[in-house]
Chain A
Amino acid sequence: GENVEQHPSTLSVQEGDSAVIKCTYSDSASNYFPWYKQELGKRPQLIIDIRSNVGEKKDQRIAVTLNKTAKHFSLHITETQPEDSAVYFCAASTPVWSGAGSYQLTFGKGTKLSVIP
């Protein structure tokens, strides 16, 4: 099955600086890569996603890059703000035609981002 590794596990940045979180995946058939933000005690919420036919996607201060050859993808947050503080999860979805039973998401272990005012 799919395996997703995420680094770093914790990240502290000064307000206004950039933050980068990196993930690798194992199954070359995976083709959908979402990033979720989870605040303490709250539900995971999608912040950006990317499909395997795209190398980069941006949405205001957030961007994701995907390198299919190397099987890694990264989240970039620019001009960080205190409200960006949360746990961020990367995930990968493997299509059923490759043997997976469903389009389940395999998550990384999360990165706790702290933005220091």
Chain B
Amino acid sequence: GAGVSQSPRYKVAKRGQDVALRCDPISGHVSLFWYQQALGQGPEFLTYFQNEAQLDKSGLPSDRFFAERPEGSVSTLKIQRTQQEDSAVYLCASSWGRGDNEQFFGPGTRLTVL
């Protein structure tokens, strides 16, 4: 079956622009995670959804970051007024359970803020 997909794969934004990143998880997966991966680093947790409920947003770096999953499947990560430090790969992962089992990652969206 299809894996986790993300779009766009690459995004270039001018500083101050808003961006929206999309994640299509594996069908039926309850849990959805967003991670941020800076160059040469491991992924860092941003936020977690269980179905449509956002249960953990402790990793969001500022109030410019907002995520939603209104129908419990597709999720969107929105970054307002982008800054250069937002440049990173944004990874989405889904899991059939709570997340303490295999998390399947998408290919990521590489965001470059100029």
Q: Say yes or no: is B59 at the interface (Cβ < 8 Å to chain A).
A: yes
Residue among A49, A96, A102 with max Cβ neighbours from chain B (10 Å): A102
Give the CA-CA distance A4 to B91 in the complex, in Å: 19
Q: Say yes or no: is A28 at the interface (Cβ < 8 Å to chain B).
A: no
The smallest beta-carbon distance between A20 and chain B, in angstroms, is 19
Chain A positions 84-105 with a Cβ under 8 Å from a chain B Cβ: 89, 91, 93, 95-96, 100-105
Chain A positions 49-75 with a Cβ under 8 Å from a chain B Cβ: 49
Check if A49 sits within 8 Å of B41, measured CB to CB.
no
Q: Specify which chain B residues have a CB less than 8 angstroms from the CB of A91 in the assembled complex.
A: 42
Q: Say yes or no: is A107 at the interface (Cβ < 8 Å to chain B).
A: yes
Give the CA-CA distance A104 to B41 in the complex, in Å: 17
Interface size on B, residues (CB 8 A): 29
Q: Say yes or no: is B105 at the interface (Cβ < 8 Å to chain A).
A: yes
Check if B105 sits within 8 Å of A104, measured CB to CB.
no
8 Å CB contact of B106 from A34, A43, A46, A105? A43
Check if B100 sits within 8 Å of A109, measured CB to CB.
no
Check if A109 sits within 8 Å of B102, measured CB to CB.
no
Chain A, interface residues (CB within 8 Å), range: 20 to 34
Check if A102 sits within 8 Å of B42, measured CB to CB.
no
8 Å CB contact of B105 from A44, A93, A100? A44
Q: Say yes or no: is A31 at the interface (Cβ < 8 Å to chain B).
A: yes
Check if A108 sits within 8 Å of B45, measured CB to CB.
no
8 Å CB contact of A104 from B33, B42, B101, B108? B33
Give the CA-CA distance A30 to B102 in the complex, in Å: 15
A-B contacts, 12 listed (Cβ < 8 Å): A32-B101, A43-B91, A43-B106, A95-B100, A101-B56, A101-B58, A102-B99, A103-B31, A103-B48, A103-B100, A105-B33, A109-B40
8 further A-B pairs in the complex, CB-CB below 8 A; given A44-B105, A109-B41: A43-B105, A43-B106, A43-B108, A44-B43, A100-B56, A104-B33, A104-B99, A107-B43
